[in-house]
Amino acid sequence: MNFQSIVVAVLFAWTFLQCLCLLAKRSSKSVGKKFPPGPFPLPVIGNLHLVGGQPHKFLARLAQKYGPVMNLKLGMINTVVISSSAMAKQALQKQDLAFSTRSIPDSLTALNHHQVSVAWLPVASKWRTLRKIMNSNIFSATKLDNNQQLRVTKILELIIYCQNKSQMGEAVDLGRAAFRTTLNLLSNTVFSKDLTDPYSDSAKEFKELVWNIMEEAGKPNLVDYFPFLEKFDPQGSRRRMTGYFTKVLNLFKDLVDERLEERKVMGTKNVDVLDSLLNISQERPEEIDTTHILHVCLDLFVAGTDTSSTLLEWAMTELFKNPETMKKTQAELADVIGKGKLIQEDDVIRLPYLQCIVKETCRMHPPVSLIPRKVEQDVNLCGYTILKDSQILVNVWAIGRDSSIWERPLTFNPKRFWNLEMDIRGLDFELIPFGAGRRICPGLPMSMRIVPVMLGSLLNSFQWKLDGNLAPQDLDMEEKFGITLAKACPLRAIPIPF
């Protein structure tokens, strides 16, 4: 018997024993209890064969058969999928604390990131401290107001870059351009310097690094379904993630070390976020140290750059697919702002159709398609018993395309929000692209200031033509699955001045 056969045999035997133990445990606890419906699991793999490479889509199809709360056996992991706004509200609002722990992909345990990351720490004192520090020093309304001129400057640089491309008759990779703008905005907010040249096609390497992190964390990994394989890392996912994290953390460490040297010479100051964090680490080292600062930056730059730029790229893609909608948006901008002018943040309130565009994009292309949670004890959800240690997946993508909520859900129709009092800030569970409850994305306030202004400025400064004379109906709408849903094929378009 060769080595592979031995591994398969051991895997089968181990999983079979685990299934027997689970069935015995479930039977002993099942008196008077009702468990969520779901497909019958196969030996060893359970229901893994049903998920496929686009899990949000496959899980949405399964939910149409088994209902809005569905139980799956993914390898050895009991998984409950929530696919309706009503059930999501019960879990993420009514029983938020019980569902507040995150299930952690094994790849994100690289360099012990999960132990110091505000995105993955359990809801406890350390998480509360770091979350409070982030909200107070980065995402509070006061801090965002103070940094408004910085956002104006960075969006102006984006427009100048597009003007340069226009003069040369060259296409703009809109996703990469938005990524570069967001990256420099964040780097100036945190470090008071650009991390890439705002006027060139730079930042490609950093963008690919960020996407590699998002993809590695989101793609199927045997260890996540068969935890006893953790020591072996058979697909090399944790090893690759260690390399990605190391590159990003080394970049931030150099910047932090440089600032510490400056502070030795010039004394303590308070210019940017980094200074604020260093001040806290000196005054209250039990709350945050240099390691936490580096990993907070990792969370901030990976999630902050990718979600905003991906949302912008999807919005522009949908507008190209729907040229009449693009014309209506540009007409509103010309009427309210004046053709060719940059959008200010205070203008957005006077641009209801632009706001509808952003909401509709969030509905159809949520930055995060599956919200991962975990229950640490048996929980009752609307009459169903959710077993302890079950992984929870809230399918935000499916909720956004639920035909019982949305008329013609597969059609991009911003007008559906025209007279609809619905926001994306986690209170209306029909539309939760940034999550909800105490674990809602902390960067939502910043993203919602950046995306409408960046989108409106691009639409109000140029007419746009798809690269290569591509017809709108021929645009590639395929998704690339990771923690975020990026476009598989980058959107390239030529800016033409009005």
SS3 495: strand
Task: Verify that 16 and 145 share a domain, yes or no.
Answer: no
**Per-residue confidence (pLDDT) for residue 17, from 0 to 100:** 61
198 domain residue, yes or no = yes
Residue 300 lies in a domain: yes
Helix pair angle (323-336, 352-364), 10° resolution: 150
Contact 123, 438 (CB under 8 A): yes
User: What is the identity of the amino acid at 25?
Assistant: K
**Whole-angstrom Cα distance, residue 118 to residue 113?**
9
The reply to whether 160 falls in a domain is yes
Is the residue at 155 inside a domain?
A: yes
Q: Are residues 185 and 83 in the same domain?
A: yes
Number of domains in the chain: 2
57, part of any domain: yes
Question: 30 lies in a domain?
Answer: no
Q: How far apart are CA 51 and CA 47, in angstroms?
A: 7
Rounded distance between C-alpha atoms, residue 181 and residue 32, angstroms: 56
Burial class (CB in 10 A: 0-12, 13-18, 19+), 283: exposed
- The DSSP result for 189-246, as a single string, is HHHSS-SS-TTTT--HHHHHHHHHHHHHHHS--HHHH-GGGTTT-TT-HHHHHHHHHH
Place of tokens 């395929």: 478
Q: Which amino acid is at 79?
A: T
Q: How far apart are CA 81 and CA 327, in angstroms?
A: 39
**Which DSSP helix (H) or strand (E) runs through 393?**
strand 391-395
Q: What is the pLDDT of residue 9?
A: 54
- pLDDT for position 1: 47
Same domain (yes/no): 90, 134: yes
> Alpha carbon of 341 to those of 159, 246, 454: distances in Å?
10, 42, 12
State the Cα–Cα distance between residues 478 and 50, nearest whole angstrom.
20
The answer as to whether 135 is a domain residue is: yes
Find all residues with CB under 8 Å of 311, minimum gap 6, and list them.
358, 361, 362, 365, 367, 447, 451
Examine the domain organization and report whether 121 and 7 are in the same domain: no
Residue 338, burial from CB neighbour count under 10 angstroms (0-12, 13-18, 19+): exposed
Same domain assignment for residues 69 and 153: yes
Residues 311 and 359 placed together within one structural domain of the fold = yes
C-alpha torsion angle, residues 437, 396, 394, 480 (rounded to 10): -120
Question: 130 and 227, same structural domain?
Answer: yes
Query: Within 13 Å of residue 446, how many CA atoms lie on the same side as its CB?
Result: 29
Kindly give the interhelix angle for 273-283 and 237-266, rounded to the nearest 10 degrees.
80
- Is 358 in the same domain as 493? yes
The pTM (predicted TM-score) of the whole model is 0.92
Amino acid sitting at position 234:
P
CATH number at residue 174: 1.10.630.10
Do 354 and 387 reside in the same domain of the chain?
A: yes
- Are residues 125 and 17 part of one domain? no
pLDDT at 230: 95
Q: Are residues 13 and 145 in the same domain?
A: no
Q: 496 by DSSP, 3-state: which?
A: strand
The span from the CA of 217 to the CA of 209, in Å, is 12
Q: Is there a domain that residue 32 lies in?
A: no
Structural domain that includes position 239? 47-497
pLDDT at 246: 97
The answer to whether residues 18 and 55 belong to one domain is no
The closest of 89, 111, 100 to 298, measured between CA atoms, is 111
Q: Measure the CA–CA gap between 171 and 378, rounded to whole angstroms.
A: 54
DSSP state of 135: I
Q: pLDDT means per 10 residues in the chain (498 residues)?
A: 50 58 53 87 92 90 97 96 98 96 95 94 95 93 94 96 96 95 94 89 82 89 95 96 96 95 85 93 94 95 91 98 97 96 94 98 95 96 96 98 96 96 93 95 94 97 94 91 87 95
Angle at 29 between CA 25 and CA 35, to 5 degrees: 100
Q: Which helix (H) or strand (E) holds 386?
A: strand 384-386
Q: Distance between CA atoms of 108 and 110, rounded to whole angstroms?
A: 5
Main-chain dihedrals φ then ψ at residue 286, nearest 5 degrees: -70, -20
